Structure 1
């Protein structure tokens, strides 16, 4: 990142100042004796270095003392808050006239002077923009049509949105907020069964889809049972067959254009929501069981956006040329929060922000272990890499799962923009902590956001104690959700009687007041000898092995040891194993006992170096050539392991491994 390059440059200049240079006369005499080509080379280096010094990026001024980024709260024992707050009171909004998402949009309309709001383009074509007023008019037409179809805040208020990112997604969502209705995002990776479950659970009667195939999926879901869906609105063109099939099912299928025209003919004045009103039901795909619907209010979302704006205050001065690239799915709360963040704040509707998850972060890299030792060349690399992203990216935010420190550091250097790492979950709207401007160290997720407090509580079974600055991460503040829709038992498991959200993650306070996520509380089991095992901790260590792409560690109370399923990295396995004198195709290597033993030896070595106890080490592994994925049902849409499905899928291999283990 720019500030990293600048900081390192300053250190380099200090070193140069401390060098013992010869007297000037001696130096001139020395230069006169050099060959011409050497002098030309020195001149080129001098010119290049001078250019770099004059154009190098400047470091950001940190918003607080980076040695103490969070402070103890007086009223909550063990809790810490952001050092940016002047008191223990959490932020609930940033702009006094934008306390709901609808008000945030209206503020954007006003401060932008009806500037461009939403843009989209086809491949190799320029963006086509809709103004704030155009978006508002279309949202009012869609919302009026929803009311005409019988939707109301006091009754049938839930609207399904089943589409990929596009302007019509945001227009449909805004239509809900304009008339105090509630949006329920649906997404492909949930699968037909989960989508059917959600529609039934929420009693959704209207679904807005992007393509006809999704409308057909919804009709398929209710082919043999009573259906709640009465209307499907489709953004893309469709044929009469879909309309006829809908009629057979008792469902009216309309184009978005027809729906907008219906609303225009039956126009209703906006019915704005209040901060405490529901905004979204965001279903999270758990590792087991049906999805859970997180109930989020306008106040939850505005508080989270306020915290982000506070942290980047004065560090990201937007201009009329800045845009927000909608990169993560709009059903993802991180994407929702960042998009809402900027509508009320800038001279344009969008922001110079790119939101990514760690998988996408790693996809930005074409290489590993890149080291740049000469700072002007690092600056050139920064410009080249940033140009590959369009040359205008000024801020990137990553969340959802950890990014390895080497990767994060490399990207900060190479991309030449502000690169933040956040931490959170849907249950606290999106984020509860985020790295500070000016702190470009890796390996932590920053201090608490200004909208919430964080405390660590004891997890005795895993020997994590708050007295040692370790424990389960708990969050409290106006960004914490109301609970799970229609599920008081799961809600009580998530939020305790004092209002603290228990995340299930294990954190550690670092001396500078930042939070480091070190483990996961869930998925703990006992081995036959009574030892507790946290498999995700072990998997995180083993994943550092070069030939390992993915690993699933398993054990149970009937066994005395652990075993694992490893998916080797198809790119690095051939390189890594060739050094050990083994060759062959990727599939052949996955069948090779020698390759398996080499990988087992490597991960056990990593485990020992990381301090794993002997019972925490896998005793044997099996190699599998196919990646765990959402498509094959082994990962959730947020790329977390579905442990029950993994166990079922690899039951035969696991039984075989245990049969061959000598205890």
Structure 2
């Protein structure tokens, strides 16, 4: 970007066909490829990439392909030295030529509903995001960030941009299975994450406590109750006093501080984005002394458009608009945004741009929401995900899915289905780590994951949580039937995006037979 080039990013898990589309659509000239696996993917589609003049790989051995199309990082540095010898003022000239209205980044959407679209973000977009995060005042130069989010994702990108403005350090490791271990080593003061990370941590800790039982479980339950009382006070801008303050100090010493130690012991707050966060999960973390500041944004809004502040927040909402962003709710409930963070448009796709940004500059997000009396935004669901049953009743699947994840500590994924059907059903997957511990304690130790989750005992377990869910739903929203899948949904299988969002269309099509079976008798 400093060299004056625009960048685009591709996930390592992206299939070759989509790689070819993105590189061609973005008119990419140079590709940086991590290793031999990615180089092989590119060589396999070489004839579809006439515009790509060079591939630079970080693995020197992968560059040994008998041609100069793939070169090593060392070779690139040598080209740079040669260029500077020829033109010593080259770097300054490139920097001086960069203006706020120059294209900086094209980020391709995750493609949960079809072929990804390239979102054009200018240099001014990133400086705006960095400035507005600074203005919110929740981070300073003494913070230490732990970053696991994919760097091809807009949330990860903005969390790399902000340190340049504010001055704090960042530790990076993209391996999701190493997050908890790394937190104890890095000891960060904050971390951004998708809700699945918080759901998994919450489920694991509460389940371990329940399995221990006895005095420890009672002590944990008491401390959690005290923490929630204090959390509710803080949400109103008040501090505990008197007996509650003394109880909180004791609960913090005996329980909460030990929970925080699992996350490194220095967490001031988390930031949650990418999907809806369950309120119960958020309240639990806040009760433990680790507030989750839930926010909202899209690739098209360069990440943050709304965010709860650490000193001003409401559970279940995504907070207030960030400075410089306007928001309003359309007549049909759609959230509209306008401001310096909004994209320049979709690359090579003027029709899609015209559909998304109206003549007055309002970006139509595709999300349904409402603003309360204090300006806090609540997102109800994706406009495209809302469905009607055959009885004409609207159902918001994301809200139901999020609620279930807060109830059941063993769940991994929960997909609600029922468009044009006479009742609502669901697909369920169980978390491999959590369910193994349950299996050991319930006579299923030594069984495979598939055997455990398809057992009558597992079905009875899930049915109990579905009954709890249904007790809080309208009659037409209740889950009448469900199927527990014999394998979890993963990024590698193409059923989750790299930021752990459910690819609803993919999952629905892949498990069509299971869903149709729910309605066969009806």
For the residues of structure 1 that align with 2:406 and 2:192, how far apart are their CA atoms?
25
The corresponding residue for 1:277 is 102
CA apart distance, 1:433 = 0.8
State the structure with bigger RCO (CA 8 A, min sep 6), 1 or 2: 1
Equivalent of residue 509 in structure 1, options 371, 385, 388: 371
Deviations 1:520-557 (A, max 9, x none): 32123444444444433333344344254322222343
CA contact under 8 A between 2:367 and 2:379: conserved in structure 1? yes
CA apart distance, 1:600 = 4.4
The corresponding residue for 2:236 is none
Instruction: Map 1:42-53 to 2 at 5 A.
Output: none
Equivalent of residue 554 in structure 1, options 412, 417, 432: 417
CA contact under 8 A between 2:424 and 2:481: conserved in structure 1? yes
The corresponding residue for 1:303 is 128
The corresponding residue for 2:192 is 355
Query: Relative to 1, partners in 2 of residues 1:526 and 1:354: Cα closer, same or farther, differing over 3 Å?
Result: closer
| Structure of larger gyration radius | 1
The corresponding residue for 2:466 is 603
How many residues get paired? 458
Unpaired segments of 5 or more residues in structure 1? 1-176, 460-470
The corresponding residue for 1:446 is 319
CA apart distance, 1:323 = 4.1
The corresponding residue for 1:328 is 149
Query: Relative to 1, partners in 2 of residues 1:378 and 1:308: Cα closer, same or farther, differing over 3 Å?
Result: farther
The corresponding residue for 1:235 is 58
CA apart distance, 1:285 = 1.1
Query: Relative to 1, partners in 2 of residues 1:570 and 1:325: Cα closer, same or farther, differing over 3 Å?
Result: closer
In structure 1, the residue corresponding to 2:146 is in which secondary structure?
coil
CA contact under 8 A between 2:313 and 2:319: conserved in structure 1? no
CA contact under 8 A between 2:302 and 2:341: conserved in structure 1? yes
The corresponding residue for 1:134 is none
CA apart distance, 1:482 = 1.3
The corresponding residue for 1:524 is 386
In structure 2, the residue corresponding to 1:189 is in which secondary structure?
coil
CA contact under 8 A between 1:190 and 1:285: conserved in structure 2? no
The corresponding residue for 1:75 is none
In structure 1, the residue corresponding to 2:206 is in which secondary structure?
coil
The corresponding residue for 1:629 is 490
CA contact under 8 A between 2:388 and 2:395: conserved in structure 1? yes
Deviations 1:449-490 (A, max 9, x none): 11201111232xxxxxxxxxxx22211111010111111222
The corresponding residue for 1:427 is 300
Query: Relative to 1, partners in 2 of residues 1:570 and 1:349: Cα closer, same or farther, differing over 3 Å?
Result: closer
Query: Relative to 1, partners in 2 of residues 1:476 and 1:511: Cα closer, same or farther, differing over 3 Å?
Result: same
Query: Relative to 1, partners in 2 of residues 1:404 and 1:377: Cα closer, same or farther, differing over 3 Å?
Result: farther
The corresponding residue for 1:199 is 23
Deviations 1:82-122 (A, max 9, x none): xxxxxxxxxxxxxxxxxxxxxxxxxxxxxxxxxxxxxxxxx
Richer in helix (by share): 2
For the residues of structure 1 that align with 2:313 and 2:407, how far apart are their CA atoms?
25
For the residues of structure 2 that align with 1:487 and 1:383, how far apart are their CA atoms?
52
CA contact under 8 A between 1:353 and 1:394: conserved in structure 2? yes
For the residues of structure 2 that align with 1:618 and 1:457, how far apart are their CA atoms?
31
Instruction: Map 1:353-502 to 2 at 5 A.
Output: 353-365=190-202, 366-368=204-206, 371=221, 372=223, 373=226, 374-380=247-253, 381=255, 383-414=257-288, 419-439=292-312, 441-459=314-332, 471-502=333-364
